[in-house]
Amino acid sequence: MENTTRILVGVGAGLATGILLGVLFAPNKGTETRKKIKDAGNKLSDNVKQTIQRGKDGLYSFKEGIKERLDSINESAEDYI
């Protein structure tokens, strides 16, 4: 799970960097360039938030799975006591 999160963050950062460089080197007016930079920043922020949320969801699912397994083990142990 950790590797997947790192890959997604890396892809998002690379995408944002590419967009930012493309905007900076594009021959546009300053106001248009600033708007594009702002939009790219917003996209990056959204991507990071989504990635973090997916990571949290994955950790929660993992935690719940472990709880279920421990409960099952405890129930089995109670049968022997």
Instruction: State the residue for tokens 């248009």.
Output: 32
* pLDDT score of 1: 54
CA angle at 30 for the pair 48 and 14, rounded to the nearest 5°:
25
**Predicted confidence pLDDT, tens digits, the chain (81 residues):** 577 778 878 888 888 888 778 777 777 777 887 888 888 888 888 888 888 898 899 899 999 999 999 988 888 877 776
Pull the structure tokens for residue 78.
Answer: 């109670």
| Cα dihedral across residues 21, 26, 32, 34: positive or negative | positive
* pLDDT score of 4: 75
* pLDDT score of 60: 92
